[in-house]
Amino acid sequence: MEESLVRPRSLVREAAALRAGAPALPVHIDRLCARIEQVDPLIHAFVPEPGRADRLQAEARALAARHPDPSQGPPLYGVAVGIKDIVHVDGLPTHGGSALPPGVLAGPQATVVDRLRAAGALVAGKTVTAEFAGAAPGPTRNPHHPHHTPGGSSSGSAAAVAAGLVPLAIGTQTIGSVIRPAAYCGVVGFRPTHGRIPLTGVIPNAPSFDTPGLFTADLAGAALAAPLLCDDWDPGAGPGDGAAGRGWTDEVPVLGVPVGPYLDRAGPRAREAFARQLELLTARGLTVRRLDLLPDFDELERQTQTINRFELAATHADWFARFGGLYRPETVAGIRHGRTVDPADRAAALRAREVFRERLAEQRRRAGVDLLLAPSATGPAPFGLDSTGSAVMSLPWSFAGLPALSLPAGVTAQGLPLGLQVIGEAGADERLLAGAAVLERVLDGA
């Protein structure tokens, strides 16, 4: 492992230091750009940008002029963030990881970027994505082992946080594109409830599932960023204001494990690590209940693909008609599959999703389960860069639109990270972060 490549930075500490004026913004930008120039040629997390340093210094001067006293500035004053290259940012082109002309893909700045900039963040640049957030990987390498995939499709965002290029990065998840790369790169990935962060200004993949999410080095960073990005955040229901675990003062969450065909999809190393994690949590006094939640997992997979492929084809109908020869084979295959899907089949799959949501919520209520646990991925990051790995461990929760996050949870003998996936109830993102803080303390203390 190249130790020098893995240097995640605490968002909480960095935000506090910048608001204290140490370092001053010009010095901070110089260090940031020097780190990107040193490390990014080795991992390719960022889309190349000539003049990055000059742009960032100009934006920093404008920010300082608006907030002469950093201590009175907004919560992310001067914090540099990476933005996945399907998310529009004023002043930067959007390529979507594709060869299409950027002008064709242009659009208004995304709401998630509006919110970051309102909070004082500076956009360090666009991070590499698989083509149109699909299956055709970009050039990004895993900072832990550069010959292994960082996961996808939010590959650049996860790698940028793991390598300490930025302390916060934005990705998106359709099926597993935040949770899986977070696990592979050994960082925290948070995918809110579907719809909790508006999709305005984001190139869609499958709007029924697409959700902006974020990457940070630790859960405290996610707890700082989430209230700034999500609609209608209730600080009394979660770990806001830096009080990790708030919301669970008189109890700890009851944990559920979905056994059966779903868990069987995890590989042996993921299952072994998951079993050890459950033993540790149980030994520390947490209640773990095993539930038969997904006996029809094959059918859930089919319904997910029906919706996803149909919507992918619809999203790209015009672009593909004009520029089909510029698309990569993996994306072409998905679009062509989507063209064969009958609209009635997609409508039936959407109805099935509503039934699944209601059934899952009722099963959790009957079992008295607060949070579900699962491996974040089928195993550690696979060798090679021609695939971003399997998203199957995130599939049922993305199908249902539930909030989920990945916590770093150990490494293999080869030094590849593993993740623990924590799944909350729809709309209860605050409770998810609060409960995950309890789990993080147990895992960190092991």
Distant-in-sequence, close-in-space partners of 366: CB < 8 Å, separation ≥ 6? none
Cα 240 off chain centre by? 20
Give the span between the Cα atoms of 278 and 24, in whole angstroms.
45
Q: What is the pLDDT of residue 237?
A: 77
* β-sheet bridge partners, residue 202: 87
Token reading at 424:
């909350």
Q: Please state, as a whole number, how many other Cβ atoms lie within 10 Å of the Cβ of residue 412.
A: 16
Q: What angle do CA 130, 135, 137 make, to 5 degrees?
A: 40
Q: 329-339 vs 297-315: helix axis angle to the nearest 10?
A: 100
Q: Above 50 in pLDDT, residue 223?
A: yes
In this structure, is residue 308 part of a structural domain?
no
The model carries a pTM of 0.96
- Note the Cα 32 to chain centre separation in Å: 22
pLDDT digits (tens, 9 = 90+) for 231-243: 999 988 754 333 3
Give 4's pLDDT tier (boundaries 50, 70, 90): confident
**Do the beta carbons of residue 183 and residue 191 sit within 8 Å?**
no
Instruction: Give how many domains the chain has, as a whole number.
Output: 1
Average pLDDT for 158-178: 98
Mean pLDDT of 184-210: 98
What is residue 109's predicted lDDT score, i.e. its pLDDT?
A: 98
Distance CA 404, CA 372 (A): 9
Strand partners, 373: 422
pLDDT digit string, tens, across residues 352-385: 999 999 999 999 999 999 999 999 999 999 999 9
Give CA separation, 379 vs 180, 321, 375, 416, 445, in Å.
Answer: 10, 38, 8, 9, 23
Report the percentage of the chain scoring pLDDT > 90: 94
Could you list the residue range(s) of the whole structural domain that residue 121 is in?
3-294+354-444
**Non-local CB neighbours of 314 within 8 Å, separated by 6+ positions:** 338
For residue 79, the 8-state DSSP code is -
- Asked if the structure places residue 348 within a domain, the reply is no
pLDDT band at 446 (very low <50, low <70, confident <90, very high): low
Contact predicate 52/40, CB 8 Å: no
For residues 128-149, give the mean pLDDT: 98
- Model confidence band, residue 134 (pLDDT cutoffs 50, 70, 90): very high
Q: For 180-199, what is the mean pLDDT? A: 98
Mean pLDDT of 31-38: 97
Q: What is the radius of gyration, based on Cα positions, of the chain?
A: 21
Is residue 106 scored above 50 in pLDDT? yes
User: pLDDT band for position 30 (50/70/90)?
Assistant: very high
Grade residue 247 by pLDDT with cuts at 50, 70 and 90.
Answer: very low
Answer whether residue 101 is part of any domain: yes
Measured between alpha carbons, how far is 355 from 339 in angstroms, rounded to an integer?
Answer: 26
CA 427 – CA 388 distance, rounded (Å)? 29
* Residue 416 belongs to some domain of the structure: yes
In three-state secondary structure terms, 446 is coil
- The vertex-197 CA angle with 195 and 201, nearest 5°, equals 100
Query: At which residue do the structure tokens 């998810």 appear?
Result: 432
pLDDT for res 280: 95
For residues 292 and 308, give the distance between their C-alpha atoms in angstroms, rounded to a whole number. Answer: 26
Residue 324 falls inside a structural domain:
no
CB neighbour class for 328 (10 Å; exposed up to 12, middle 13-18, buried from 19): middle
**CA 420, CA 373: separation in Å to the nearest integer?**
7
Instruction: Give mean pLDDT, residues 433-438.
Output: 96
- Is residue 87 helix, strand or coil? strand
- Please say if the pLDDT value at position 58 is more than 60: yes
Supply the mean pLDDT for the chain: 95
Q: Is 345 inside a domain boundary?
A: no
Whichever domain contains 406, its CATH number is 3.90.1300.10
Q: Which amino acid would we find at residue 121?
A: A
On whether residue 328 sits in a domain, the answer given is no
Residue 378 domain-assigned (yes or no): yes
- Is the pLDDT at 249 greater than 80? The verdict is no
